[in-house]
Amino acid sequence: MASDLGRRSRGLGHNLQEPLEKERLLTSVNSYGSQDGGYHVAQGLQTSQEEVLRRRLKYFFMSPCDKFRAKGRKPYKLVIQVIKILIVTIQLILFGLSNQMVVTFKEENTVAFRHLFLKDYTDGSDDTYAVYTQSDFYDHIYYAVDQFLVLPNETIGRYAYVHALGKNQSALVLCQRYYRKGSIDPANDTFNIDPEVIEDCVGVDLMEPVPSFRDDNAYRNYKNFTLKFHKLINVTIQFKLKAINIQTIINNEIPDCYTFAITITFDNKAHSGQVKVQLDNEAVIKQCKDPSVYGHGEGGNGEALGKDVMSLAL
């Protein structure tokens, strides 16, 4: 009986030692001899390092509020980031308002130019505004040029002329473009066209409403300007005007100076009997030469520069 219990106990101990021996055999050994103590020490160190790394990663990914609860450290970096976001947001809002004023100023001036220089113009008629008779064609040209010459006495806005425009060195240039040769005979179903385009221009100067004759035939009386309807492609009236956008003072900004390049086009390239008329306005913005705002002086520029420097520093 005793011998049977001894054999059973030895068999049970042998069965318990088999997994431990197998684990030791499968574990890499760096040196000869007994490694039991070193194995447990290395495993303990590895567990400790993993715990430290796990705590650091957990703290790193904590929110500022959790970090404050864990260590009582004030989230000053979060406060700095919030301040930077507020400053950038305010700058974006001011920049957007300034750009909105620029776009609005150009659009309002374009509408004003259409009412000033296009005869019988009404809002919303851009797609249907056209002339259909030769007399109306001439009337619209004369109206635009006459309005340009008396602009300071007619307009509510404050505009200035730009002299020496184009090759004619005049304030306004009236040009027609037509084919060198053009003969269209619908009755006989025939036509004869030389596609080479000729440009004929008349310059109108402010000091001399009826320009004198020049050798290059560029300066002539614009009311004696004869259009060649049978081969006409288009007629253009080009001039420039200057203006100042003073509404930017509302945002404590120095006003900008504008130069509007205006082109009125009578498009007859289709020869359909309808000559569409459109006015295009291109604006060039630049800094005024001697800005002066009462009570501000040059402080506006300094204040704006200070805000920009502050935002860059943060």
Share of the chain above pLDDT 90, in %: 26
Residue 208 backbone dihedrals phi, psi, to 5 degrees: -140, 80
Q: Which residue blocks in 74-179 are alpha helix, DSSP H? A: 76-117, 134-149, 151-154
Structure tokens at 46: 């590895």
Among the listed residues 102, 101, 105, 204, the one whose alpha carbon sits nearest the alpha carbon of residue 151 = 204
**How far, in whole angstroms, is CA 190 from its chain's centroid?**
50
263/301 Cα distance (integer angstroms): 34
Among the listed residues 201, 204, 200, the one whose alpha carbon sits nearest the alpha carbon of residue 146 = 204
- Per-position b or e across 187-201, b if 16+ CB within 10 A of its CB: eeeeeeeeeeeeebb
Is residue 262 pLDDT above 80, yes or no? yes
Q: What is the pLDDT of residue 266?
A: 96
pTM of the shown model: 0.63
Q: 121 near 115, Cβ under 8 Å?
A: yes
Tell me the one-letter amino acid at 74: K
Q: What is the pLDDT of residue 12?
A: 47
Q: What is the mean pLDDT of the chain?
A: 75
Q: What is the pLDDT of residue 30?
A: 46
Q: Residues 42, 47, 52, CA angle at the centre, nearest 5°?
A: 125
Q: Is 281 buried (19+), middle (13-18) or exposed (0-12) by CB count in 10 A?
A: middle
How far is the CA of 214 from the CAs of 103, 170, 299, in angstroms? 41, 13, 52
Share of the chain above pLDDT 70, in %: 68
pLDDT tens per residue across span 23-62: 444 444 444 444 555 555 556 666 787 887 887 777 777 7
